[in-house]
Amino acid sequence: MSHTTPHTRAIIHVFTAARDRNGNCYHAVRVTNTATGAFVEAHTDAEGNPTAFLRDVLDWSEMYRIQEVLPIRAWQAGPGKFPFLRNEREAYRALFQEV
């Protein structure tokens, strides 16, 4: 069963690493444009809340969010390899700009 609606423009999948032995935890995100299938994967500076960066591009009702906490080894094998973006906000704007 899908929880998205016809108005959903973005699926935001937030990955958080379980805390390491020093108490640190890391965040990465995959933001998918549901109309085009295009996506951005990145480490996020938004403390696991990239919707802060997306609010100036989309309305809350247009976003569907998935939150997942991964063991550190699973994090390192997957989202831990996502790139660091210089400007997350601009990457999300570009993902949803009208053509």
Q: What is the pLDDT of residues 75-87, one digit of tens each?
A: 999 999 999 888 8
pTM: 0.82
d(CA 71, CA 32): 23
Beta strands 39-43 and 27-33 are: antiparallel
Contact at 8 Å (CB) between 81 and 26?
no
Structure confidence at residue 1 (pLDDT) = 46
Q: What is the pLDDT of residues 12-66, one digit of tens each?
A: 998 999 988 888 888 898 999 999 999 999 887 656 566 677 877 888 888 898 9
Helix (H) or strand (E) holding 72: helix 72-77
Structure confidence at residue 74 (pLDDT) = 94
If one counts every other C-beta atom within 10 angstroms of the C-beta of residue 77, the result is 11
Structure confidence at residue 48 (pLDDT) = 55
